[in-house]
Amino acid sequence: MPKVFEWNGYKFFFFSNEGDPREPCHVHVRKGERIAKFWVEPTVVLVSAYEMSSGELKSLQKVVEEKQDLIRRAWNEHFRF
């Protein structure tokens, strides 16, 4: 479970073995029991969320949009694209 970065107590990460065939570039976000998943490609979009408020999700989407280059680099380095 490679961690890409942390922000305000939220951990941004992806799973090494997720999807067969592998899903497009995306990131999971967790804080405690709350979790969300955002596609990064082709554009940043919320896929799923559990126990997160709409305000949290809007803030997190903005962070993913701002850090999408970092997320893509980490994804590509991990999966060797």
When divided into structural domains, the chain yields a total of: 1
pLDDT in tens, 13-24: 998 887 677 788
pLDDT in tens, 34-81: 999 999 999 999 999 999 999 999 999 999 999 999 999 999 998 875
- Which backbone phi and psi does 54 adopt, to 5 degrees? -65, -35
Q: What is the dihedral of CA 40, 19, 75, 46, to 10 degrees?
A: 20
3-state helix/strand/coil string of the chain: CCEEEEECCEEEECCCCCCCCCCCCEEEEEECCEEEEEECCCCCEEEEEECCCHHHHHHHHHHHHHCHHHHHHHHHHHHCC
pLDDT for the residue numbered 19: 67
Query: In which domain, by residue range, is 23 found?
Result: 3-79
